[in-house]
Amino acid sequence: MKQPLVIAGPCSAESREQVLSTAQALAAGGIRIFRAGVWKPRTRPGGFEGVGSGAFPWLQEARALTGMQICTEVATPQHVEEALGAGMDLLWIGARTTANPFAVQELAEALKGVSVPVLVKNPINPDIELWCGAIERLSGAGVTRIGLIHRGFSSYTQKLYRNEPLWHIPIEMKRRYPDIRLFCDPSHMGGRRELVAPLAQQALDLMYDGLFVEAHCNPDGALSDAKQQLLPADLIALLRNLSVREEGSLPSDIASLRGEVDGIDEELLRLLARRQQITGEIGAYKVQHNMPVLQSDRYREIIEKRTQQGRLLDLDAAFVTAVMETIHKESIRRQLELVADAEKQ
């Protein structure tokens, strides 16, 4: 059975003590590659932007103490120069950078002929061609050791995950580049530590080659991504509990179809949440204008229309009716709650 390759470490290198204590605990649990962000790309200014190259001596010390390999994120040619100068064993390109072809081209040129592996995160937006473009720019510059990190895709609407997995995209990447190793980053995908285990398991079920996970010796006090980081000991326990599938136990086309089904279910949940939000707004209007919550004409119309629309899509009428009744019942329940709340005031 092929064990997944695990790369773990804090979102950001914050201090010598934090780096060394996290690295030692991870190494004691068998982790061989240590990650830590030194330059942090923050969506909004004002957050912790990393300590910069001053953190490299801590990473080097961690490597000397534990024997782990060390890696960091690079976003500019200057970062590449400094990171390689500090002897990083691996580099990664962050999601915001992959989304920018100019930046990737500059990085590719700075990485010309470099032999350290470069892992490329998916772009923040679900555009597979941008991800491919980054791979082409790097391989065009002669970078031969390339890996992929799937960290999910950002979306505007209410969501279960910090970044939607959209599993079909990395699965398609694997189809296009069968020889490139695929890692899953369940930390940035889930955004909450409880979601790391199920997402990591799902990645293993889909035959990913490895995991790229955040761990911190004091997660709640982390200067970035506090909610999603795990204590090293918790991460080690989590990894031990994952089931690694027999290679070949799941034909890859079935794995990819499963990934697609998961993506569809997540989409359905997102749409249901959006629907609830809108019917909630309608409910608030009804309360304000003293209108009844259940309007039977509207209900009949919904069921009839959806059954007809479903038929055109080859969906069984009884099934569509049952689904719509359940959804509608939940909207009414929420709207009645609003009425009850209004009456209390």
Taking CB under 6 A as the rule, does residue 216 contact ligand PEP?
no
Q: Scan residues 174-193 and list those touching ligand PEP (CB under 6 A).
A: 188
Which does residue 334 touch among Mn ion, ligand PEP, none (CB within 5 to 8 A, set by kind)?
none
CA 171 – CA 128 distance, rounded (Å): 11
Nearer to ligand PEP, 11 or 111 (CB): 11
Taking CB under 6 A as the rule, does residue 37 contact ligand PEP?
yes
The enclosing H or E element of 9 equals strand 5-9
Which does residue 63 touch among Mn ion, ligand PEP, none (CB within 5 to 8 A, set by kind)?
none
The enclosing H or E element of 149 equals strand 146-150
Nearer to ligand PEP, 151 or 193 (CB): 151
Among 225, 236, 306, 324, binds Mn ion (CB under 5 A): 225
DSSP conformational letter for 52: G
Binding mask of the shown chain, residues 76 to 115, with x at each position contacting ligand PEP by CB under 6 A: ------------------xxx-------------------
CA 306 – CA 295 distance, rounded (Å): 17
Provide, rounded to whole angstroms, the least separation between the CB of residue 11 and ligand PEP: 5
Nearer to ligand PEP, 208 or 328 (CB): 208
Q: Where are the alpha helices (DSSP H) in the chain?
A: 16-28, 56-66, 77-85, 95-98, 101-110, 128-140, 168-176, 186-190, 196-205, 232-241, 252-288, 296-312, 317-344
Structure tokens at 269: 């949940």
Taking CB under 6 A as the rule, does residue 7 contact ligand PEP?
no
Among 6, 7, 8, 11, binds Mn ion (CB under 5 A): 11
Taking CB under 6 A as the rule, does residue 196 contact ligand PEP?
no
Query: Given the rule CB under 5 A, which of 7-15, 244-252, 256-264, 327-335 is the region that contacts Mn ion?
Result: 7-15
Provide, rounded to whole angstroms, the least separation between the CB of residue 11 and Mn ion: 3
CA 232 – CA 218 distance, rounded (Å): 9
Residues whose CB falls within 8 Å of the CB of residue 126, separated by 6 or more in sequence, listed in order: 153, 164, 166, 169
* CB hemisphere CA count around 4 (13 angstroms): 29
Size of the site for ligand PEP (CB under 6 A): 9
Residue 54: name the closest of 69, 72, 27 by CA: 72
In three-state form (DSSP H/G/I as H, E/B as E, the rest C), the secondary structure along 174-222 is HHHCCCCEEEECHHHHHCCHHHHHHHHHHHHHCCCCEEEEEECCCHHHC
Cα–Cα distances in angstroms (integers) from residue 22 to residues 16, 88, 148, 252, 269, in the given order? 10, 18, 24, 36, 36
Provide, rounded to whole angstroms, the least separation between the CB of residue 48 and Mn ion: 11
Nearer to ligand PEP, 196 or 338 (CB): 196
Q: Scan residues 225-284 and list those touching ligand PEP (CB under 6 A).
A: none
Q: Scan residues 280-319 and list those touching ligand PEP (CB under 6 A).
A: none
Nearer to ligand PEP, 181 or 275 (CB): 181
For ligand PEP, the binding residues (CB under 6 A) are 11, 37, 41, 94-96, 121, 151, 188
